[in-house]
Chains A and B, each alone.
Chain A
Amino acid sequence: MKYGWFGIVMTSVFLGSLAPANAQATLKAVQERGVLSCGVSQGLPGFSAPDDTGKWSGLDVDFCRALAAVVLNDPLKVKFVPLSAKDRFTALQSGEIDVLSRNTTWSLSRDTSLGLNFTAVMYYDGQGFLVRKALKVNSALELNGASVCVQTGTTNEQNLADYFRANNMKYEVVAFSTADETIKAYESGRCDVFTSDVSQLYAERLKLTVPDDHVVLPEIISKEPLGPVVRHGDDQWFDIVKWTLFAMINAEELNVTQKNVGEMTKSNKPEIARLLGTDGNLGEQLGLTKDWVVRIVKAVGNYGESFDRNVGAGSKLRISRGLNKLWNQGGIQYAPPIR
């Protein structure tokens, strides 16, 4: 009889830990819940990393805060869920998170076979190689016979295989399941080369004891467009996430910054008026408020500011904008007009 009660207690405790999650009306669910559940990495400096007090910062983190600002009017109402490369997609599919902002590469198979939708490109990246300066290697084509550390569960493994096969080079692959293990193995000398997306190379390099002893080789062997991901089946939420990113890019294009957004709301320029909601009701068409872009820029600034602060000149990574410059400044970041 004791165990009968025990069964009742444990079953109820078990049931209490189950939480129903709605797949369809994500916007409504988030607003009802009062907090945005955002899937991020387990600690990638510049993109999503917690500091010692547990406060998250990074490019992907800024995007989530912008999203929370438009939907809940509070950029701090975000629950960050650290995910490994292996369970990032299942977490999104099962409804555990509302959006996956985890430097995820947009590819055809992921867009179709996983039941997910890639919204837009936050960061145009590619795969590269990190080697020690002491090896005096200047190009990836000199890596015949090397040992290469790579993380499993990513496209990096397959791109690596394709590249070495196409160039008739031999290599030894050393694969680990988390980025931390991989970089630790590279540092201990188990392998000569560490391969990953170039942005990750710069970020992981910071975790090495003497970052300046290592150099990123110039070859980019794949296209890795990184961006936020949502589930199939919720078009409104898809539009909201997509246009949040586009709003940040458009804000940079129109020179609306975190500092001057207050005065810019009084501007007469038609594009800025449309952007900041003083003219028209574009925000409401998305299901948000009129001042949705004002909220975004007040919370995290425009795309350029967020980039600089997290991965660019104002950060420890110091990655150059490169392809991520605006289209009218030599890069390929191009957002459709807000009108």
Chain B
Amino acid sequence: MNGSETIFVRKTLAPARKAPVITTGLVGFLRMRLFNSPLNIALTFASVALAWLILEPTIRFLLIDAVWTGSDRTACLADKAGHPVGACWPFIQAKFTQLIYGFYPEDQRWRANLTFALAALLLAPLLVPKIPGKTLNAALFFLAFPFLAFFLLRGGGLDGFVFYWLAELFGMAWKPSLLRFWLDFSLTTTIVTAAVILLWGGWPNGRRAGLSSALTFAGIAIVIVALRLDQGGLPVVDTRLWGGLLVTLVVSITGIVASMPVGIALALGRTSRIPLLRIFCVAFIEFWRGVPLITVLFFATYMLPLFLPGDFTIDALVRVLVGIALFAGAYNAEVIRGGLLAIPRGQREAANALGLSYWKTTGLIVLPQALRHVIPALVNSFIALFKDTTLVLIVSLFDLLGQLRAAFADPTWATPTTLFTGFAFTGIIYWVGCFAMSRYSLFVERRLNAHRQT
């Protein structure tokens, strides 16, 4: 056993080996993700070719070859401009107000702008999770804002308040006057506030509810005075003059606002134990979900007037809004039902143990949790509704796409690139809107699931 034969100690340095293959940094990235096998190399080259084929003509069309100024089609014709012409941006400039407002009278456009600004002002804090006061914010946006927007956009005033409307319904309306209007209003305020206090458990339990009711009516009074609704209000702008992005936003926001109560009611009905209610809600939901939206719009436009007594006419826009509210409500009902089913049964049992009734449980415990869970799905539903507003073009309402199609018919701008330019512009608007909403939905989902372990 001689140690010197089994132990080996180097006397000189070993030759340096080659460095290991770089797997980080740009070179590493290229090697691992793009060029690591023959198939991958082929795919990479094919992808680069495809990307170049798509991006180069697009950028050339939109920016490099585009015409930026001009007053009619001659500016965008290739022989006049001297080089192959890309996008004809003067066309968009000329049609811009039409695409955004439709034929809304120019001197009244401030009303549309004010409505957009108010919507943005109320919606932005609602979307940021950190900002407090969500209940007030939601109440303002979902309840107060539609009322305000209606009178801002359409104009017109109020002849009377609730009692006047009830009297009109039964054909016993009185002649409207300023004094009678405010009398009606004060009477309604006192009766409703008293009823609210009573329903919330009398005095002093119902104090807070009564205060909110009184404040709501005070707010309504302020709005009425500000817009002079008791004295005829703003000049009426017929809905036939509305068009473009205005109609798109009105239809989609009204759709989502109106479909929430419908959806919640249907979802609660579908999960109720009462057989008749459940069967009715199931049939209702399946019916509206099983037909295409176009048939719903046709149904609303052509059949709804038949179902009302002969001397009532409904605005074309209101018919479409009713159809969309029912359709979106049925889809939202399924989404909300998913949320309701996800709440553990123990919540209901705990509430029962505390002695809360069905309505108190639903309103205070189940619904808040369920709605918070399904916000991502509701945002997806809103994205779908936003895209579906383009269908109103088929019932002759001019939304953004409809106004674009009408703009294509103008002979003063007919060039080979007008169509592509128009589609590019509206495409960017739609894409930015939908993409932003889908990113927001992902953000909310991630936030909601942050506390859950996968």
Contact = CB atoms under 8 A, between A and B. Distances in A.
A–B contact at 8 Å CB threshold (below): yes
Interface of A: 1-3, 5-10, 12-23, 42, 50, 54, 79, 81-82, 84, 86-87, 90, 94-96, 177-178, 180-181, 183-184, 187, 206-209
A13 B158 CA distance: 10
A100 to B, nearest CB: 15
5 contacts: A1-B196, A16-B165, A54-B103, A180-B409, A183-B409
B176 interface: no
A209 B301 contact: no
The residue among B305, B313, B314, B414 with the most chain A CB atoms within 10 A of its own CB is: B313
B238 interface: yes
A96 B238 CA distance: 13
Contacts of B301: 87
A17 B450 CA distance: 46
B313 A95 contact: yes
A29 to B, nearest CB: 11
Nearest to B314: A18
Contacts of A19: 312-313
B312 A20 contact: yes
A196 to B, nearest CB: 15
A95 B305 CA distance: 11
Contacts of A96: 313
Interface string B205-228: 000010000001000000000000
Nearest to B309: A20
Contacts, number: 86
Interface residues of B, number: 45
A79 B237 CA distance: 12
Contacts of B146: 9-10, 13
A3 B264 contact: yes
A6 B142 contact: yes
A95 B209 CA distance: 45
A6 B261 contact: yes
Given A13-B150, A21-B311, 13 more contacts: A1-B196, A2-B143, A15-B168, A16-B165, A18-B313, A84-B396, A86-B396, A94-B305, A184-B408, A206-B411, A207-B411, A209-B73, A209-B414
Interface of B: 73, 103, 105, 139, 142-143, 146-147, 150, 154, 156, 158, 162, 165, 168-169, 196, 199, 209, 216, 238, 240-241, 258, 261, 264, 301-302, 305, 308, 310-315, 318, 394, 396, 405-406, 408-409, 411, 414
Contacts of A9: 143, 146-147
A22 B150 CA distance: 26
B320 to A, nearest CB: 12
Contacts of A184: 408-409
Contacts of B169: 15
A132 to B, nearest CB: 15
B194 to A, nearest CB: 14
B435 to A, nearest CB: 30
Nearest to B98: A52
A12 B143 contact: no
Given A3-B261, A17-B315, A206-B411, A8 B162 contact: yes
A17 B318 contact: yes
B440 to A, nearest CB: 24
